[in-house]
Structure 1
Amino acid sequence: MLKPRHLVAITAALLATTASVTAAEYFNRIASFPVALNNPDAEAGVENSAEIITATEDGMTLVYSNALLGGIGFVDITDPTAPKAAGFVALDGGPTSVTVIGGKALVTSDTTEDFTAPTGYLSVIDIATKTIETTCDLGGQPDAIAKNADASLIAISMENQRNEDLNDGVIPQLPSGNITFFDVADGTVDCGTMRVTELAGVADFAGEDAEPEYTDFNSLNELAVTLQENNHIVILNGETGAIINDFSAGSVDLEGIDATEDGRLSFTESQPGRKREPDAVQWLDENRIIIANEGDYEGGSRGFTIFHKDGTELYESGPSMEYIAAQLGHYPEGRSDAKGVEPEGMEVGTFGETKFIFVNQERSSLVAIYKDTGDVPEYWQSVPSGLGPEGALAIPSRNLYVTANETDLSPDGLAGAHVMIFELSESEPAYPQIMSDLDAGGKPIGWAALSGAVGDAEKPGILYAVSDSAFSEAYIYEIDATAKPARIVKKTVVTRNGVPAQKLDLEGITLDGEGGFWLASEGDTAKLTPHALYHVNADGEIEDEIAYPAALLAGETRSGSEGVAKIGDTLWIAIQREWKDDEKGFVKLVSYNLETEEWGAVRYPLEAAPEGGWVGLSEITVHGDYAYIIERDNQIAGKAALKALYRVPVSELVPAELGGELPTVTKELVRDLVPDLAANNGYVVDKVESFAVDAAGNGFVITDNDGVDDSSGETFFWSIGAL
């Protein structure tokens, strides 16, 4: 378990990445490439993927495996800020890994149809002509491929993976796996040089069924191999194939973690004796290896470990990466009982005189970056990496780091798989833009899904935000926007009768003028969640609940309240989309007079909806003579077109009786927010959900990351300056 001083050090490092006044170097994302661009003729809605990634020796072309479409893709990064599609080579089966030697791409592919008789092959592909020159039968199912320092030798981990649907995936399930070697001459693989090192019987656990995963060579031609399900590590002589050493990856007593999927971020639980079950492995030098402890079979210790090649444990990260992810709003609560942030891919690269360690976290969609000090790694920064980063590639000659993100949600209308490019330069990190402090107990204030915000009436730079239904509890967050990054300094649970309130989906917050707040909850009758307003005091205790009237609910749909603002004695609520009684292209701004208890509304005209999508409202905030409204489509990435801030004169907010003819307000575009989002050099996110104006008159925009559920977890927070 990390001691409080270590947590304080982590927080200090997080803040230091954006508060440096010296010419420190940091990684920033400079481009994002949707891999679907390499397959323009693929059927719409077909999943893409980018898993393992490498580059040509000049660092100008990326090569990635795409098992879902059965081939390898190429990306031209001559200009790394503007990557271009450079072709695709289709292969039989599913490519599992790729490396490059000279002008050739060496690709392993899995053609297994029967787990008891695994099959696969190695392809040698000429990069210039995109033609397959040679194939070698591997006699089993391959996973990772690695080349040695002088590219005279390759090693392939033949996993011969288990059937996870058979007996709940219990092992052993034969046949066992092995390491297969080939000699390479002038970039050409001679299939006749194939030799095999059997690994059956090496591991202490299920040794008869060795399942090798990742491999990596050091400068001595020693090969490190992880046996993930066996929780074991093997060191081989690459030239002879002989086993030099092997040892258990061991276990970790995890304490202070969130180990229950209960819709809360608690970090008060434990998992004793948690097997590491490493996935990726990298050499730090000739004697030290580092492993990413993803877990698969019955473990996963959520961090990374450094070993001497003799098996001596040198460093264990414990849950520290999870705490960082929680502070950045990226902790995947839906994976709490299993693998947490799920460290998977890993890379080590020396940039100038600094050796960096990159740990890809599949479920948090972050890359944690550390400096190798030869002793305790120094946390440096975290960068956001699309959905499910697996492949990791350092290109020090060009100051680049690249990730391949395997998750593709485009069939569901969400973000597709991307390759993302980061550059090391003398600059401040562009991310995070908002993070949390530690709580009174020294643990991170976990947060996500910011869905509505309001500025403090007296303190410039102080905002309050609410969370939506991503959590089982509803929260009010206090944000210090004067800090860089902005900091969540306090989290208050919304309570009813002394216990956390249930059946809330908070989407709006405004000041009540007495130290408390009015909250708007988006209802969902199917889930018994009411459309309602809630009055809470400064401690988050609900003091009054106001249900929406029958005249309004007669036309209700799922898309309800998406913001609330107060003008005098009247609350104004933005309804997200058309309800059943609305004319297409118009939504209601609903009013409730706190003194007379009268309801009313006006009509707000929407922009035209994109093909296959919809347009709606996400926020309403009042400042001066105007009500500011966020209007957006529900599209993401390349399809995103409308994310904008409009304003409506307060003088036009004259409500008419519900059920009758409603007056239509006029609107004026204040700011197109798409360029702001695109400037983050990832893909344009869909949910711009909050806009607040502080006591100094500065406007702040916040996106909603959906609680890291089917999302990259990225939250963007920025100011558009004085209104």
Structure 2
Amino acid sequence: MGAALAAAVSTASAALAAPTAPGPVGARPVGIELSVLGTYETGVFDASAAEIVAHDPATQRLFVVNATAGTVEVLDVAEPSRPRKVGDLVTAGVRAADGSRVDVRGVANSVAVRSGTIAVAVEAADKTDDGWVVFFDRALQAVNAVRVGALPDMLTFTPDGRTLLVANEGEPNDAYTVDPEGSVSLVPVGNPLRVTQDDVRTATFHAWDEDGDRTLHPEVRVFGPDVHGDRYVSRNLEPEYVVADARSRTAYVMLQEANAVAVLDVRAGRFTDIRPLGTKDHLAVGNELDVSDRDDAVNVANWPVRGLYQPDGFDSYLWRGQTLLVTANEGDAREWSGYSEVSRFRAWTADLPAACPGSPVAAFLAADNGIDTVAQLRDNAALGRLNVTTTLGRGEDGCLEAAHAFGARSFSIWTADGEQLYDSGADFERITAATFPSYFNSNHREHSFESRSDDKGPEPEDVVVGRVDGRDYAFVGLERIGGVMVYDVTDPRAPQFVQYLDNRDFSAEPGTSAAGDLGAEGLLFVAGKDSPTGRPMLVVANEVSGTTTLFSIERTTPGKGPTR
């Protein structure tokens, strides 16, 4: 970390020492500190050249998805200060167990490593067709492949190493005339060479369809065109990310657009529940947000907005014997040429002149905040520019209840049963504003001031949890302004903010090496026992800058800084 950036982080910590709202917005010298070890640069800007990353401790190699090249790059990190490329995993043309061949124009979406087996998820050239998982050995040779569902977007091994779980997102085509089912494939991987297509099981959502025997919770968002006339729920739910519990018996599957999490019985290979995540009340103290990119100011305040959590990446850890889920509440809209749920608040409320009695909007307009009418609320310096969903927020008689925005601009901790134990509230916007006041809510493709205030703010993309010296830490990557937020989550009811580190240089032109990391996408925690340094590391793949950066995680002593 450069001197200027270090000073900025130090200043931000001092400015946040006295919390102004519930939640740990005050930095304090507890436990650990991140610093840059080394960076690998693809030299490719704004083309998803570094997305998801996996690590093999036996060879000290990183495997980084390069979507623009359609491959997985292999990096030697035995010297983490000088990561170097040693090869590629090429999936095109690999023959699968069912006799098919992986599309030449197929796109690698995810990678996972376990005991010398490397698994790569590949979507078909036509993403609505079924994709593949390709298996490689440590010699970087493809040894087998199997067919999975449409758009396999993420995969992971269960902790016992016996099963590979593949989240098949099943997105529609852009015209929304074809919409495949979302599902999870379960692949036994005791010996990848011997896996046949018949070994692959598929967990579907058929039980919640029209002819199924399960009733979907009304808060699970199922919406948009029904282009097939059957299996509407199955086609609507789109698995984004999957995490298995420590016993490898239960997996949790994020349904981002639906704002819900599905529970998967790994042994039975079937879903047992779908739980809505609810909404975040941005009128509550501590849940403030900045909603306008046109007011030329940092204005983190309360508004009559409900945030749809809609996590992307998430992780789990054990606390007092129970599994907890930690989510990065990014937000995502269903937005295609054939159908879009997205509108600016100003346009969406053009025919909604009045607030519903007793609604969040009515309460806001009745308060002493200088805004007394829906018309004033529609101003571009107020909510006018905020991107909202058109599927929620109208009363039955055409009145306005509340705006529903995408994402919660935070991270949360949940029990496995869906109870929220903690949410970071307005921390991310307050901390980034104090650290980089001239680049608050900047975009990742260019340096800007509050250009993302109207649309998901810092946009937390991914989170990983790691144990360091007996304490649990959450590392949250911010996709837009960039960087990593670090929290001590040892007590999930009272997490503590530890550090915000952004390896980005706002004085350098985006697209140049000097600009640093842009667009944090995939995060990976490497435990000390698996690290080339003997100390824990954090690895961040950045899709806009095409860089993969390794961070050391050092123990800190109050008043003395990092120690080994």
Q: Compute the TM-score of the two structures, normalised by the length of structure 2.
A: 0.66
- The yes-or-no answer on 1:351 pairing with 2:468 is yes
Contact 1:103 1:187 (C-alpha < 8 Å) held by counterparts = no
Q: Give the root-mean-square deviation of aligned CA atoms.
A: 2.8
1:323 aligns to what SS in structure 2? helix
- In 2, the alpha carbon distance for the partners of 1:91 and 1:318 equals 42
Q: Which amino acid aligns with 1:205?
A: R
Q: Which amino acid aligns with 1:264?
A: A
Q: Is the 8 A contact 2:26 2:497 kept in 1?
A: no
Cα gap change, 1:271 to 1:160, in 2 (>3 Å): farther
Closer, same or farther in 2 for the Cα pair 1:27/1:131, shift >3 Å?
same
Give the drift of 1:175.
Answer: 2.0
Listed as ranges, the matches of 1:332-371 within 5 Å are 332=441, 333-371=450-488
Q: Taking CA–CA contacts closer than 8 Å with sequence separation of 6 or more, which of the two structures ends up with the larger relative contact order?
A: 2
C-alpha displacement at 1:296, in angstroms? 0.6
Secondary structure of the 2:80 match is coil
Could you say which residue in structure 2 is the equivalent of 1:211?
A: 238
- Among 29, 33, 43, the residue aligned to 2:36: 29
Q: CA deviation at 1:140?
A: 1.8
- Opposite residue 325 of structure 1, the aligned amino acid is T
What is the CA deviation profile of residues 234-255 of structure 1, one whole-angstrom value per residue up to 9, with x for unaligned ones?
Answer: 1211121233432101110124
**Cα distance in 1 between the residues matched to 2:17 and 2:78:** 46
- On the 8 A contact 1:228/1:279 being kept in 2, the answer is yes
What residue number does 2:331 align with? 295
Establish whether residue 418 from structure 1 lines up as the match of residue 547 from structure 2: yes
Indicate how the Cα distance of structure 1 residues 294 and 47 shifts in structure 2: closer, same or farther if over 3 A, else same: closer
Residue type of the alignment partner of 2:263: I
Partner in structure 1 of residue 66 of structure 2: 66
Q: How many residues align?
A: 401
Distance 1:271 1:365 in 2: 27
The code of the aligned residue for 1:245 comes to D
Does 1:97 pair with 2:110?
yes
SS of the residue corresponding to residue 326 of structure 1 reads helix
1:325-474 equivalences under 5 Å are: 325-329=432-436, 331-332=440-441, 333-374=450-491, 375-385=493-503, 386-396=517-527, 397=529, 398=531, 399-407=536-544, 416-426=545-555
Alignment partners' CA distance in 1, 2:266 and 2:129: 24
Q: Secondary structure at the match of 1:334?
A: coil
* C-alpha contact (below 8 Å) 1:30/1:80 kept by paired residues: yes
Residue 303 of structure 2 aligns to a residue in which SS?
Answer: strand
Aligned twin of 1:696: none
* 2:137 is equivalent to residue 126 of structure 1: yes
Aligned equivalent of 2:430: 323
Is the CA contact 2:162–2:189 (under 8 Å) kept in the aligned structure 1? Answer: yes
Instruction: Give the letter aligned to residue 121 of structure 1.
Output: W
Please state which structure has a larger fraction of its residues in strand.
1
Amino acid across the alignment from 1:292: A
For residues 223-622 of structure 1, what are the structure 2 equivalents within 5 Å?
Answer: 223-255=251-283, 256-262=288-294, 263-268=296-301, 270=303, 272-285=305-318, 286-297=322-333, 298=389, 299-329=406-436, 331-332=440-441, 333-374=450-491, 375-385=493-503, 386-396=517-527, 397=529, 398=531, 399-407=536-544, 416-426=545-555
Question: Does 2:181 align with 1:176?
Answer: yes
Q: Residue by residue, what CA displacement relative to the aligned partner does 1:152-189 show, whole Å, maximum 9, x if unpaired?
A: 111001001134x447xxxx973220111011114556
Instruction: Give distance in 2, aligned partners of 1:86 and 1:271.
Output: 52
- Aligned counterparts of 2:555 and 2:418: Cα–Cα separation in 1: 38
1:213-256 Cα offsets, whole Å, 9 max, x none, are 01111112211110001111012111212334321011101243
Aligned to 1:591: none
Contact 2:32 2:556 in 1 (8 A): yes
- Of the three residues 205, 208, 223, the one matched with 1:199 is 205
Secondary structure of the corresponding residue to residue 349 of structure 1 = strand
| Amino acid in the other structure paired with 1:35 | T
2: distance between equivalents of 1:134 and 1:126?
10
CA distance in 1: counterparts of 2:78 and 2:221, whole angstroms: 47
The alpha carbon displacement at 1:325 in A equals 1.4
2-structure distance, mates of 1:9, 1:344:
21
Q: Tell me the TM-score normalized by structure 1.
A: 0.52
State the distance in 1 between where 2:149 and 2:252 align.
Answer: 22
Equivalent-residue separation in structure 2 for 1:178 and 1:370 (angstroms): 33
> Partners in 2 of 1:9 and 1:312 — Cα distance?
17
The Cα of 1:362 is off from its aligned counterpart by: 0.3
1:297-340 deviation line (CA, Å, top 9, x unaligned): 14211111211111212112222112111111153211111111
Alpha-carbon deviation of 1:6? 4.8
Give 1:265 shift: 1.9
Q: Aligned partners of 1:81 and 1:47: how far apart in 2?
A: 25
Equivalent residue runs for 1:21-60 within 5 Å = 24-36=31-43, 47=47, 49-58=49-58, 60=60
Q: Within 2, Cα distance between the matches of 1:143 and 1:3?
A: 40
Structure 1 residues 46 and 405, CA gap change in structure 2 (3 angstroms): closer
How many Å apart are 1:132 and its aligned residue?
A: 1.2
Report what 2:213 is aligned to.
Answer: none
Q: For residue 268 of structure 1, report the CA deviation from its aligned partner.
A: 2.9
Which piece of structure 1 moves more, 378-387 or 147-156? 378-387
CA pair 9-245 structure 1, distance change in 2 beyond 3 A: closer
What secondary structure, in the 3-state scheme, does the structure 2 residue paired with 1:287 have? strand
Deviation at 1:47, TM superposition (A): 4.1
Would the alpha carbon gap of residues 196 and 424 (structure 1) be closer, same or farther in structure 2, given more than 3 Å must change? same
Counterparts of 1:6 and 1:188 in 2: how far apart (Å)?
Answer: 57
CA contact 1:181–1:196 (8 Å) conserved in 2: yes
- 3-state secondary structure, aligned to 2:501: strand
- When residues 46 and 422 of structure 1 are mapped into structure 2, their CA distance, relative to the original with a 3 A threshold, is closer
Note if contact 1:178-1:199 (Cα within 8 Å) is conserved in structure 2.
yes
User: Secondary structure, in 3 states, of the residue corresponding to 2:451?
Assistant: helix
Q: Is the 8 A contact 2:415 2:421 kept in 1?
A: yes
After superposition, what is the alpha-carbon deviation per residue over 1:33-82, rounded to whole angstroms, capped at 9, x for unaligned?
1034xxxxxxx889461111010033711111111110000111111112
- Report SS of the residue matched to 1:151: coil
Which structure 1 segments of 5+ residues have no match?
A: 37-43, 408-415, 430-483, 486-723
Q: Distance in 2 between matches of 1:78 and 1:249?
A: 41
The 1-side partners of 2:523 and 2:434 are apart by 23
- 2:193 and 2:541 map into 1 onto residues whose CA distance is 26
Unmatched tracts of structure 2, length 5 or more:
1-15, 93-105, 209-215, 223-232, 334-388, 390-405, 442-449, 504-516
Structure showing greater radius of gyration is 1
Relative to structure 2, which stretch is displaced further, 78-87 or 2-11? 2-11
Change (3 A) 1:11 1:319: closer
Does the CA contact (< 8 Å) of 1:145 and 1:154 recur in 2? Answer: yes
1:185 aligns with one of 168, 171, 190: 190
Cα distance in 1 between the residues matched to 2:169 and 2:465: 23
**In structure 2, C-alpha distance between the alignment counterparts of 1:46 and 1:311, rounded to whole Å:** 36
Contact 1:52 1:392 in 2 (8 A): yes
Identity %: 25
Contact 2:328 2:411 survives alignment (8 Å): yes
Using a 3 Å threshold, how does the CA distance of structure 1 residues 27 and 46 change in structure 2: closer, same or farther? Answer: closer
CA distance in 1 between counterparts of 2:314 and 2:142 reads 29
